[in-house]
């Protein structure tokens, strides 16, 4: 029956305030919903009118008699008009009633009355109204959904416990509407626990939780999201059909109901793969423990050698020792057993040993000549990435999202708002290392480079664990948790026309396998593992890097020319994108025709992001060429540190004026967008150069701290996993959270620790075994 569908519309606007709880009249609810779309653009006096008309007066003054209704809300009221309200004095507290006046539609509702009722739920009295429709034209065909809704409505009047609990589970008008709170989730767990089990010859049913998104003027962004609790016989399509009965209104309702996911064939295959990998790990660990026990028994030292010998990777067949950067570098190999001690099968199993792989990761030592300061930069940069993602992901579940606008305007918050520069740190480090190590390899091999193995090693180093994470994310994530938003955000089979991260991975995982996901699909948020755009760029930079490095080694000026051409291409691309798309440095552009410079066209394309990588290559060449044999005066050292510090701070904090009506000019905007990432890399270049040549002082001591080494080894896995951990946590929350600085610090630290813990497990169980297998199968003794 339509009356019960209209009853759902009334439930959408349920509100509570202290001990006074009122179900809004239909007119007030629809007026309120319509006005939320313009709430941020409203003038101060209009916002005050909304607060008075929609919150204070209905909640605090609902007992007063009114002879005429107020015209609530802002200007756009075309879809509904208010009419005279009749007063009911059958109870001590009068409750306003009203009628919906429609524009002519194919559906006509007549003789609508509102009767007062009193509902008691756990010693709390709710004064409400029950909508009764006595005549409906063009009644739709009866379905089980309608029958159960009718039963549900009747049981509410009869004060059945399950029905009252379902009603109480509905999302209600919360505080913080003016702070952007449009996510009224209700009580997810309470809803799912309810079921009708009454022997009255009527169908029994179980409750299901649904999220109704109210959309105005076909905008993609809902003006309101409300949790509702309905019988499980109602599906998404039926609810949407019933709720969108006013065909000519500019309000539509989209509904997505909670799902219990079955294990797909892909999920079963993923679990089988993980189980097989787990068996190999158990057998490999047991094999190594048994071998070492036998050795220790022979030498009568018990298990004392177990820890000491863990420093040797049996499957590596060698330990690599690099001489100091102050002198010529040469790689020597020391046989530690390998093929001379064990057969192939034993070596294969030892690749999966937790003892070997765990000790390798946790060992806080590096060979002589290693660039120790890079470990600190790598770890701190990843923390910066996680911090930025922590704020971005939390935005989806905040009850006061507009608070972010105030936070962004703080000077101290600029480092978080500009966290995208942390990715440029990784590009810089990658360019530096590939150049430095490749030049050393060329030096040790008479200028020759094994081009095939150069690319094969890189691909096998990154891809297996990358594909495993995508496989787990796409197939098993829906089963990790549950919550009011979880099955909607992580639905492996979303409704037609609806996309989410899992759906994109099902469609585009192959682009990640080929490292072209930053080019196709063209939209960042449609990529599989959207944060994988960095890996695609880094791989593409790696592919072209040996050509420049080879030229630098054999034909220096030709290499410099190639380097300059790439840098000028990057600058030209950024200038062109800035002018073409009218990019701005404003975080939230006031001009709707402008977009922030971190948009898809300028953020994920390789030709706009290569400048930090090129700076890293230049530093790598300098470190290789001079081997740390550089002497600088105190004045030059201080000048370098001051210049690098000022440059870095200017890049990160230079946009502070945007939040205080001090916008950059058009020309300054283009200059900043073109040079900001290059300038950040220049600042990092000095830090690495000074630390490597002995002029780093306390900065070098901090960045070279041995505690960074184990964390740096698992940085790759932590980068892959941390957004998934955030998705699972935030989308499984049963209610929204109120933003505060202390809460965000707490969330960040929790996400950081859990991300690294999960990264260690992934690294010791997958990344390290795959690396050992590569060495075993390809018999690779030396690599770049």
- DSSP type of residue 768: H
Cα–Cα distance for residue pair 6/236, rounded to 1 Å: 16
Cα–Cα distance for residue pair 687/723, rounded to 1 Å: 29
User: How does 255-278 read in b/e, with b if 16+ C-beta sit within 10 Å?
Assistant: bbbbbeeeebeebeebeeebeeee
What's the pLDDT score for residue 176? 81
Sheet of strand 124-136: strand arrangement: 14-17, 20-23, 124-136, 109-121
What's the pLDDT score for residue 299? 64
Cα–Cα distance for residue pair 605/677, rounded to 1 Å: 14
What's the pLDDT score for residue 53? 43
The answer to whether residues 319 and 781 touch, using CB atoms and an 8 Å cutoff, is no
The answer to whether residues 747 and 394 touch, using CB atoms and an 8 Å cutoff, is yes
Q: Given CA atoms 219, 224, 229, 230 in this order, what sign does their dihedral have?
A: negative
Q: How many CA atoms lie within 13 A of 378 on its CB side?
A: 24
What's the pLDDT score for residue 259? 86
What's the pLDDT score for residue 297? 73
Q: What is the largest CA-CA distance in the chain?
A: 100
Q: Residues near 607 by Cβ (< 8 Å), separated by ≥ 6?
A: 569, 570, 573
User: Residues 498-555: pLDDT tens digits?
Assistant: 788 999 999 999 999 999 999 999 888 899 999 999 999 999 999 999 999 999 999 9
The answer to whether residues 781 and 333 touch, using CB atoms and an 8 Å cutoff, is yes
Cα–Cα distance for residue pair 406/402, rounded to 1 Å: 8
CB atoms within 10 A of CB 290: 10
User: Residues 244-288: pLDDT tens digits?
Assistant: 765 656 778 888 898 889 999 999 999 999 999 999 999 999 999
Cα–Cα distance for residue pair 720/728, rounded to 1 Å: 14
What's the pLDDT score for residue 249? 65
What's the pLDDT score for residue 475? 96
The answer to whether residues 595 and 583 touch, using CB atoms and an 8 Å cutoff, is yes
Give the residue from 622, 631, 639, 635 showing the smallest Cα distance to 688. Answer: 622
Q: Which long-range contacts (CB under 8 A, 24 or more apart) does 95-98 make?
A: 95/22, 95/62, 95/127, 95/128, 95/129, 96/25, 96/28, 96/58, 96/62, 96/66, 97/25, 97/129, 98/25, 98/26, 98/27, 98/28, 98/69
Estimate the share of the chain in helix, then strand, then coil, as percent rounded to the nearest 5. Answer: 55, 10, 35
All residue ranges of the chain with pLDDT < 50 are: 1-142, 302-303, 306-340, 783
- For 611, the token pair is 């400048």
Residue 133: φ, ψ to 5° = -105, 120
What's the pLDDT score for residue 92? 32
């Amino acid at each position: 029956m339509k009356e019960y569908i209209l009853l759902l519309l009334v439930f959408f606007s349920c509100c509570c305030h202290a001990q006074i709880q009122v179900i809004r009249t239909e007119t007030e609810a629809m007026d309120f919903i319509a006005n939320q779309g313009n709430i941020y653009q409203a003038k101060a006096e209009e916002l005050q009118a909304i607060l008075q008309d929609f919150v204070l007066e209905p909640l605090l003054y609902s007992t007063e008699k009114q002879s005429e209704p107020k015209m609530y809300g802002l200007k756009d009221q075309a879809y509904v008009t208010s009419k005279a309200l009749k007063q009911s004095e059958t109870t001590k507290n009068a409750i306003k009633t009203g009628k919906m006046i429609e524009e002519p539609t194919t559906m006509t509702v007549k003789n609508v009355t509102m009767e007062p009722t009193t509902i008691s739920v756990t010693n709390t009295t709710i004064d409400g109204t029950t909508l009764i429709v006595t005549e409906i034209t063009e009644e739709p065909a009866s379905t089980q959904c309608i029958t159960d809704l009718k039963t549900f409505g009747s049981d509410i009047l009869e004060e059945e416990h399950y029905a009252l609990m379902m009603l109480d589970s509905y999302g209600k008008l919360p505080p913080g509407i003016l702070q952007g709170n449009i996510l009224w989730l209700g009580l997810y767990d309470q809803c799912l626990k309810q079921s009708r089990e009454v022997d009255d010859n009527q169908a029994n049913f179980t409750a299901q939780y649904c999220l109704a998104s109210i959309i105005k003027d076909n905008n993609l962004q809902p003006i309101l999201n409300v949790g509702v609790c309905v019988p499980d016989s109602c599906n998404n399509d039926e609810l949407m059909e019933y709720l969108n009965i006013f065909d000519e209104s500019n309000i539509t309702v989209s509904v997505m109901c909670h799902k219990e996911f079955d294990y797909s064939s892909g999920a079963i295959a993923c679990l089988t793969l993980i189980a097989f990998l787990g068996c190999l790990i158990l057998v490999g660990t047991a094999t190594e423990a048994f071998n070492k026990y036998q050795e220790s028994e022979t030498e009568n030292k018990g298990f004392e050698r177990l820890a000491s010998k863990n420093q040797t990777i049996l499957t590596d067949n060698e330990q690599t020792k690099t001489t100091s950067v102050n002198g010529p570098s040469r790689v020597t190999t020391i046989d530690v057993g390998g093929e001379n001690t064990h057969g192939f099968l034993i070596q294969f199993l030892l690749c999966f040993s937790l003892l070997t792989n765990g000790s390798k990761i946790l060992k806080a030592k590096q060979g002589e000549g290693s660039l120790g300061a890079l470990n600190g930069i790598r770890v701190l940069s990843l923390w910066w990435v996680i911090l930025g993602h922590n704020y971005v992901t939390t935005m989806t579940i905040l009850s006061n999202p507009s608070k972010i606008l105030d936070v962004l305007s703080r000077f101290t918050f600029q480092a978080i708002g500009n966290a995208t520069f942390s990715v440029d740190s990784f590009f810089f480090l990658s360019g530096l290392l590939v150049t430095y190590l490749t030049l050393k390899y060329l030096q040790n091999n008479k200028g020759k480079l094994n081009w095939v193995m150069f690319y094969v090693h890189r691909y096998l180093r990154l891809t297996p664990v990358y594909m495993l994470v995508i496989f787990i994310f796409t197939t098993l994530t829906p089963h990790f948790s549950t919550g009011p938003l979880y099955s909607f955000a992580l639905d492996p089979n979303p409704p037609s026309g609806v996309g989410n991260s899992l759906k994109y991975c099902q469609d585009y995982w192959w682009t990640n396998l080929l490292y072209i996901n930053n080019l196709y699909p063209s939209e960042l948020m449609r990529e599989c593992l959207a944060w994988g755009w960095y890996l695609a760029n880094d791989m593409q930079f790696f592919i072209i890097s040996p050509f420049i490095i080879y030229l630098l080694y054999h034909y220096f000026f030709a290499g410099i020319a190639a380097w300059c051409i790439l840098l000028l291409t990057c600058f030209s691309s950024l200038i062109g994108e800035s002018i073409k798309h009218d990019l701005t440095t404003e975080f939230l552009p006031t001009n709707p025709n402008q977009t922030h410079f971190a948009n898809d066209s300028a953020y994920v394309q390789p030709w706009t992001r290569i400048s930090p990588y090129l700076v890293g290559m230049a530093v790598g060449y300098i470190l290789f060429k001079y081997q740390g044999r550089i002497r600088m005066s105190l004045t030059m050292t201080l000048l370098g540190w001051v210049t690098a510090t000022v440059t870095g701070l200017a890049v990160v904090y230079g946009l502070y004026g945007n939040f205080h009506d001090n916008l950059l000019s058009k020309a300054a905007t283009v200059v900043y967008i073109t040079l900001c990432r290059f300038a950040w890399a220049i600042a990092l270049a000095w830090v690495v150069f000074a630390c490597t040549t002995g002029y780093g002082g306390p900065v070098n001591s901090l960045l070279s701290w041995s505690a960074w080494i184990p964390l740096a080894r698992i940085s790759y896995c932590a980068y892959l996993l941390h957004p998934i951990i955030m998705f699972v946590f935030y989308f499984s929350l049963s209610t929204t959270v109120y933003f505060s600085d202390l809460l965000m610090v707490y969330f960040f630290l929790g996400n950081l620790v859990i991300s690294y813990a999960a990264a260690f497990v992934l690294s010791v169980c997958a990344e390290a075994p795959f690396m050992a297998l590569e060495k075993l199968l390809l018999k690779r003794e030396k690599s770049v």
